[in-house]
Amino acid sequence: MLELNIVDESKNIWHIKFSGAQDTLYAGEQFTLHFRFDDKYPFEAPEVKFIGTPPLHEHIYANGFICLSTLDKDWTPALTTANVVLSILSMLSSATVKQEPPDNARSTAWMNKLSGPKAVTWEYHDLKC
C-alpha cells in the first residue's frame, strides 16, 4: 500500500510511504520516500531519497540517497512516481542480505555536502541498481 502526502505543493514536494514486500528481508517495514519535482520533470527524473531511517541495503546510503539507474541515466519521461516506487521496492525485494554500501561512511560524508542526490555522479557496479 502506498500513502501519498503532498508536503509543499508550491515546491512540488511529495512524501510517499510504503511497506516492504511480503516474504522479503524488509517485509512489514515502513519507509518514506521524499520526491522533489523541478521544472525539468518529466524530462528529467525527480529527486528521490529516503527520509527517516533508510533501509539497510547495499545501494542505499545512510543519508537516504539511492543508487538506482532509473533515477539517473535510465530515466524516461514515461515513468511515473508509482513506477519509481515499484523499482525501489523491487530493488529491496531482491536483496538476500541487509548490508550497507561498502563505501557508505566515506561516500555519505561527501554526499552530504552536495545539493541532493541528483548532484551525485553515480557509478553502477551491478545490474541491481
Give me the CATH number covering residue 55.
3.10.110.10
Task: Please tell me which residue in 60, 66, 67, 111 is annotated as part of the active site.
Answer: 67
Dist. CA 117–CA 72, nearest whole Å: 10
Is the pTM value of this prediction over 0.85?
yes
Alpha helices in 2-121 (DSSP H): 81-93, 104-111
* Residue 116, pLDDT score: 86
* Residue 127, pLDDT score: 58
Residue 127 belongs to a domain: no
The ranges of the chain with pLDDT < 50 are none
Residue with cell 539511492: 66
Domain span including residue 93: 3-114
* Residue 101, pLDDT score: 94
Residue 122 belongs to a domain: no
Has 67 been annotated as catalytic? yes
